[in-house]
Structure 1
Amino acid sequence: MGTYSGVSVVTDTLEITPEILALVAEIDEFKGAWRALGTLAPERLSALRRVATIESIGSSTRIEGSRLTDADVERLLSNLDVKTFGSRDEQEVAGYAQVMEMVFALFDAIDLTENHITQLHRDLLAFSSKDERHRGAYKTLPNNVSAFDADGKEIAVVFETATPFDTPRKMQELVAWTRSALSEASLHPLLVAAIFAVVFLEIHPFQDGNGRLSRILTTLLLLRAGYAYVPYSSLESVIENSKEGYYLALRQTQRTIRGAKPNWQPWIVYFLRALQSQKRRLEKKIETERIIAGTLPELSLRIIETAKERGRITNGDIVNLTGANRNTVKKHLARLVDAGHLTQHGTGKGTWYRVSTGDEWAR
């Protein structure tokens, strides 16, 4: 990592193109406008955050091979107090959820240090029995990124990561550079976060969990830099939906990192475009929230809110929660189904409803 251990080397090799400037300006404009955009009722913001959190957990773990859907994640989150999970996918989701909530709640107190990074890794794998021996500790075995055949046999090394011997030094340099760049404001914090993420993944400092932890640490850096809207729109979902571009940009930059002139461009452009998509998704959600809030009756809004929070609802749930007349609730539910805000499942006494997955407001 010596070729980019100093701020001057990074700034000397990083070309700030018009596209990069435009992307940073657009993201920062939204950052400044968030206070005005975020004036929705607290319970509605809370519901937006819950949906984004489910998407983030589902997407980040699926990027690494999990097979759990967002609906599976939602069911699992409602039972996190159980503390025992039957599959590795469930263990990974539980750990990711726990660490995300910690970062959302305590980001001001979680400075970027090696100690905090290893603690977050330990907590990320807290429920993973397979990872018990190495959680919270740098790798002791090589973990090159490899290609495997159908039988699980390694057929090629796609990318060679840092050796276990070099990892502690490289991590020390990366953390020191990142802290220095942020404190001295020598680079825009979005560019610092981008460089941190790509170098962290090039080092691959832990035996497992590096991809998930890189996305947790990206969120931490963004929140600490004042991008307070991040919890309300899933960056992980954007990455999952552009996974080929994600890996291509990583490899294009990572292949050059150990040379005299690292090519930061592919990764930084991908990273900023992903942040652009994240904020545009949130803009649409906020606008749709406002439209719905201005056109739907209060009881209908409460029905949608309850459906988002619980995942599924029945007529009886709403009657018990609001005290409204059963027939009145039934009419509101029917209108919400006709308008595409809810989908109906089952018939008769077994009828239940959930927020329509095709409804942009619900995504």
Structure 2
Amino acid sequence: MAAHWIWQQAEWPDFHWQAEALAPALRECVQAQGRLLGMTGAVTASISVQNELDALLQNIVSSSAIEGEQLNVGSVRSSLARRLGLEHADDTSVTQRSEGLAKLLLDATRHFNQPLTVERLLEWHEWLFPDQISDLAHRRIRIGALRGDEPMQVVSGRLERPTVHFEAPPRKGLEQQLQQFIDWFEASRHQSSIDPLLRAGIAHFWFVTLHPFDDGNGRLTRTLTDLALAQGEAQAIRFHAMSVSILDDRVGYYRILENSQRATLDITDWLNWFLQTLLRSLQKAMTNIESVLGKTRFWQVHRDSALSPEQIKALDRLLDGDEKGFEQGISAAQYQAVAKVSKATATRHLTELLEKGCLERMPGGGRSTRYRINYPAD
């Protein structure tokens, strides 16, 4: 009988890929990774922690959003802030859920040197569902334990005519298959023959295909990916959030997984998708850090410019750029609204900011004149 799923192939899980086809994307990722690590060396400790908090927060929230779950962002931020030692962490909004998710990702990234074991995975699963641990009578999923004997399928559509997108390997023999994965994960970390980024992509695909738990497989898969990436970089601090880029192409993510899980053991297409998605997350992180560094340099140059509180407020909005809706600069009318000043004061403030070198006029003129930040030279 022909194999319908990849795990039914006789050689499973002996994955292979076409190295020459992946070489361009892999080279781009390695270069971007190097540039990002170089940039992070230029940021101060306080900026570093804040950027790490933002990246971890985005990773957690996006990983859950991929599964259709909307988290309380403030609660997750508070849990992360407290664990990162940031002052003013708001403990009032912390929940068991946010605590578990923060603990999970920080264990994977901060403790990347610790070995992966079945016990560690089971503990991760418990952290993923902390609010259900005590509810033994109404437990719908096995928490901190491998899945049950019933077939594990990913299904969509109506009950009478469902579409099966994926079926995991049978429960019998799952312990051995999971241990085989863990043994590979530990051994491959020290093998120079496999690039660390490809290793992360293989780990992602292999674990999500095993689907060892009743629920939470996708989130644990992406946590494992973060662990593998941290091991590859040999750095606990995370500045890029791959789950954000996966969420941006959620449909493509599920499509490439389904297509690859129905195909041969040549996983080149999956690895290419993985590398392209990782590259976008690295590029996004570099853009964020460039923005932070640019903002820091700007205020260093203008710390003695004797600016009014209104001017500082407007400049802060502009420095945040597209995040605040001012990626196309600011007009006199917008300045008036942001700074809450009269039309005459807005005109005077903008003239002063031009004279002090804080702003520059954008092309165009008349009533439509817009102003943008005049970034100091490096």
Q: For this structure pair, what is the TM-score category when the shorter chain's length is used for normalisation?
A: 0.7 to 0.9
Residue 264 of structure 1 pairs with residue 264 of structure 2: no
Cα RMSD over matched residues?
3.3
Residue aligning to 2:27: 25
Q: Aligned letter for 2:144?
A: G
TM-fit CA distance, 1:143: 2.3
Q: Secondary structure at the match of 1:4?
A: coil
Which residue number corresponds to residue 119 of structure 1?
123
8 A Cα contact 2:295 2:319, kept in partner: no
Q: Provide the C-alpha distance between the structure 2 equivalents of 1:64 and 1:346, rounded to a whole number of angstroms.
A: 41
Cα distance in 2 between the residues matched to 1:346 and 1:202: 54
Q: Distance in 2 between matches of 1:251 and 1:347?
A: 53
Greater helix share, 1 or 2?
1
Query: What displacement does 1:336 show?
Result: 2.2
Alignment correspondent of 1:146:
155
The offset of 1:273, in angstroms, is 0.6
Please identify, of 68-77 and 26-35, the stretch whose mean Cα deviation from structure 2 is larger.
68-77
- Displacement of 1:330 in angstroms is 4.6
1:4 is aligned to: 12
Give 3-state SS (helix, strand or coil) of 1:184's partner.
coil
Contact 2:203–2:224, Cα closer than 8 Å, also in 1: no
Deviations along 1:106-137, one digit per CA (max 9) or x if unpaired, are 222x2122222222222222234576862221
- 2: CA distance, partners of 1:153 / 1:170: 33
- Is the counterpart of residue 242 in structure 1 residue 249 in structure 2? yes
Q: State the SS of the aligned residue for 1:99.
A: helix
Structure 2 residue corresponding to 1:217, chosen from 224, 247, 255? 224
d(CA) in 2 for partners of 1:169 and 1:296? 58
Pick from 111, 128, 136 the counterpart of residue 144 of structure 2: 136
Cα contact 1:222–1:230 (8 A) shared by 2: no
Q: What letter is aligned with 1:182?
A: R
Give the fraction of aligned pairs with identical amino acids, expressed as a percent. Answer: 21
Q: 2 CA distance for matches of 1:143 and 1:262?
A: 21
Aligned to 1:335: 315
Q: Does 1:100 align with 2:100?
A: no
Aligned to 1:309: none
Larger radius of gyration: 2
Q: CA deviation at 1:269?
A: 0.8
Report the CA distance between 1:299 and its aligned residue.
9.2
Q: Is the 8 A contact 2:314 2:339 kept in 1?
A: no
Structure 1 pair 158–80 and aligned structure 2 pair: CA distance change class (3 A): farther
Q: Rate the CA distance shift 1:217–1:269 in 2: closer, same or farther, 3 A.
A: same
State the distance in 1 between where 2:76 and 2:233 align.
Answer: 28
- For 2:153, the aligned partner's letter is N
Task: Name the SS for the 2:19 alignment partner.
Answer: coil
From 46, 61, 64, the counterpart of 1:61: 64
User: In terms of mean alpha carbon deviation, does 185-194 or 76-85 score higher?
Assistant: 76-85
Question: Given the alignment, which residue of 299, 303, 312 partners 1:296?
Answer: 299
CA offsets 1:80-127 (integer angstroms, 9 cap, x no match): 676646xxxxx3x4432221122232222x212222222222222223
Match of 1:176 in 2: 183
Q: Which amino acid aligns with 1:57?
A: I
Q: CA separation of 1:72/1:106 partners in 2, compared to 1, >3 Å: closer, same or farther?
A: closer
Asked if the contact 2:78–2:90 (Cα under 8 Å) also holds between the matched residues in 1, the reply is yes
Q: Summarize the Cα distance change of 1:154–1:231 in structure 2 as closer, same or farther, 3 Å threshold.
A: farther
**What TM-score, normalized to structure 1?**
0.73
Q: Gaps (5+ residues) in structure 2?
A: 1-6, 81-88, 325-336, 342-378
Q: How many Å separate the matches in 2 of 1:292 and 1:115? A: 45
Residues 128, 232 of structure 1: alpha-carbon distance in 2 compared, 3 angstrom cutoff = farther
Q: Give aligned pairs, total.
A: 304
Q: 1:298 deviation in Å?
A: 8.1
Runs (5+) with no aligned partner, structure 1: 86-90, 301-324, 349-363
Distance in 2, matches of 1:334 and 1:167, equals 59
